[in-house]
Structure 1
């Protein structure tokens, strides 16, 4: 967490540091980003950064948290608009469409997501991914819990597995339509305007097959089975 010194800075100075750090990390990654460049662009001494944050990983985590909050606020607004009380997999389809569109329209957030996903330093990657995963799960867990309560998931559904799969799918959909080489299987390497929507529906179909309640099977005359 940032230090007390950071909290005492005026809002414009904090905004300048955040903007400079986001630009540098988006361009070069977290561990490869230059603190000298950040300090110069923000108009502060490099040593001041270590008065604002306990260490570099604290800075990385804070910048990740600020960016994640922006994404989260937008998506939570969209969740309310989409109505999360609808059947879960129909709602999830629309939510993932909004998610893909958001990252198409917000290159800064896309670049920061890429920096977190492709970070090569293990300790740094753990620091920033922990922040992102916390935001994901604080939003997703209630949606999955409520879906199970409504009967939109099988009674024996492994909801932890569902959440884990969503933690893999969401970052992939944030980046793969815009980063060549990430998905040669589902057609995202040769993008057409409707390809992300088709991919979303293929993912949701797989999730629904694994986690949605199975249709009731009833016996018909002659011993044949029909599905209700």
Structure 2
């Protein structure tokens, strides 16, 4: 967590440090990210960074939190627009479409997401994934529990398993359309403009079949941008 000194720092200086750290960690990740470069770009002494944060990992976790807050704010606004009281898997399809579109339009957020997902330093990866997962779960858990209360999920549905699958699916959909080799099975290595939306529907169909109360969805029963999608 940032120190008291950080909280007393002027807004412009904090913004400069955050911007410099985001750029460096997005490009190089934690292990190869340079505090010297961050300090130089932010216009502060390297020693000042250790007055603001306990260590490099603490700075990395804070930058992850700042980026996650931006993504979360956007998605929470979209959730309100999409109306989460609708049938859960219909709503989830639209939500995942919005999620994919967000990372298509925000390469900096995508790079930070990749840095946290692919980090080789175990302690750093655990620290930043804990931050990311906290934001995910604070948003997803109420949605899933409300869906169960409405009867959109089977009474015996393992909601923790569903949440765990969503925790794996979200970073995958944020990155797979842009990182070759992550998902060759569903065609994201040969991506067309429509492919991510089709993949979303295949994933949701599997989740609906496993956890939902209705008949399993297939590609022939879902709609893409208002048009029927055939098998």
> Which category describes the TM-score, using the shorter chain as reference length?
over 0.9
Matches of 1:86 and 1:6, distance apart in 2: 43
* Residue number in structure 2 paired with 1:117: 117
Task: Say whether 1:45 aligns with 2:45.
Answer: yes
Matches of 1:78 and 1:35, distance apart in 2: 35
C-alpha displacement of 1:31 = 2.1
- What is the aligned length? 215
Matches of 1:161 and 1:130, distance apart in 2: 18
Superposition map of 1:32-71 within 5 A: 32-71=32-71
String of CA shifts for 1:135-190, please: whole Å, max 9, x gaps: 00000000000000000000000000000000000000000001111110000000
* Residue number in structure 1 paired with 2:90: 90
Instruction: State the secondary structure of the residue aligned to 1:30.
Output: helix
Matches of 2:66 and 2:30, distance apart in 1: 14
* Residue number in structure 1 paired with 2:228: none
Superposition map of 1:130-145 within 5 A: 130-145=130-145
The TM-score normalised by the length of structure 1 is 0.93
Which blocks of at least 5 consecutive residues in structure 2 are unaligned? 216-231
Matches of 1:41 and 1:188, distance apart in 2: 36
Write out the 4+ residue segments of structure 1 that deviate beyond 3 Å after TM superposition.
none
String of CA shifts for 1:187-226, please: whole Å, max 9, x gaps: 00000010000000000000000000155xxxxxxxxxxx
Task: Say whether 1:73 aligns with 2:79.
Answer: no
Matches of 1:79 and 1:173, distance apart in 2: 17
* Residue number in structure 2 paired with 1:26: 26
Determine which structure has more spread, i.e. the larger CA radius of gyration: 1
Task: Say whether 1:129 aligns with 2:129.
Answer: yes
* Residue number in structure 2 paired with 1:4: 4
Which blocks of at least 5 consecutive residues in structure 1 are unaligned? 216-228
